[in-house]
Amino acid sequence: MFKSIIAKILRLLPNKALKTPMIPLQHVKMKKDVLIETSVQRTKISLYYPLKTNQKKLPVYINFHGGAFIMNDKEMDDPYCRFLSNKAECVVLNVDYVKAPEHRFPKPIEQGFDIIQWLRSRADELDIDVEKMMLGGQSSGANIAAALCLYLEEKGDNQPLLQVLSCPMLDFVTPHADKPEPDKWRSRYPQVANFINMCYLPDKEHAGHPLASPVLAKVSEHLAPALILNAEYDAFRPEAESYAEKLKTAGVTVHYELFKDCFHAFTHLGPKERAEEAWELIARKMREVVES
């Protein structure tokens, strides 16, 4: 009960990314809001179709927003989904995934898996080429995206063409107090991060589960190629670096990009020039893997 009350209070805080998006709002051919059934709960998604394209069947990118597993919704990424749809000439599927503590690990991962199956079953009517599927997210959303690739591998399912991990949270085992936190308030009060961890993980033992902490997972060369965007002054920088090296060692193709003089969630909070650079890089990499 206590966790739910605090989480609800945190959800009332203004979303800076939603208020001042780094990328101007673009027109798309269509934004389609859909409510779909999953094993977790009925789920809101938005499908964005590019303004201009010569393709009949479009690639698709599944997006998981950030919010520390407990906050925000898919609309915070509306400007970026529009941008990626137009720039990469693909359909972007934006997920309003379930939040903790009401829905805890591994529910968002299972929900993501169900959405992939739904997408495959509706590919023709949605004008989507499911052989050209990609996925990614920011912060907690990047954790879900990385875990979803591991979950697909665990089930012997096909991997996406690309996993995009932006400022990913990948390690629940290392206490936040032992992470290089640049924010003086977060550094002084690591209990806040610990509260978020307790909201998402039902039991302490889950912290070391590979789907909760992908940095601890045994990875294979069959995992999706990865684009990992990291910020110089991010408490989660070491775990993103470690995961990039782990994937490379396993034989996975990795493009790792460190953005200097940036903090966690810079793609949504600025500086604007670096945020635009990051999203341009994501769109470019999406086009590359689709065309290769």
Average pLDDT value for the chain: 93
Give 167's Cβ-side CA count (13 Å radius).
26
Q: Which of 125, 121, 119, 127 is nearest to 57 (CA)?
A: 127
Average pLDDT of 159-164? 98
CATH of residue 165: 3.40.50.1820
At residue 202, the pLDDT reads 81
β-pair type (58-64, 128-138):
parallel
SS3 59: strand
**Residue 287: which pLDDT band, with cuts at 50, 70 and 90?**
very high
Average pLDDT of 49-78? 93
Range with the poorest average pLDDT among 10-19, 136-145, 194-203, 212-221:
10-19
**Residue 11: which pLDDT band, with cuts at 50, 70 and 90?**
low
SS3 102: coil
Domain of 124, in residue numbers: 2-291
Q: Which of 214, 194, 201, 250 is nearest to 101 (CA)?
A: 201
- Each residue's pLDDT tens digit, 81-123: 999 999 999 999 999 999 999 999 999 999 999 999 999 999 9
Q: Which of 137, 139, 38, 264 is nearest to 148 (CA)?
A: 137
Q: Are 267 and 275 in contact (CB under 8 A)?
A: yes
Question: 149 pLDDT exceeds 80?
Answer: yes
Domain count, the chain: 1
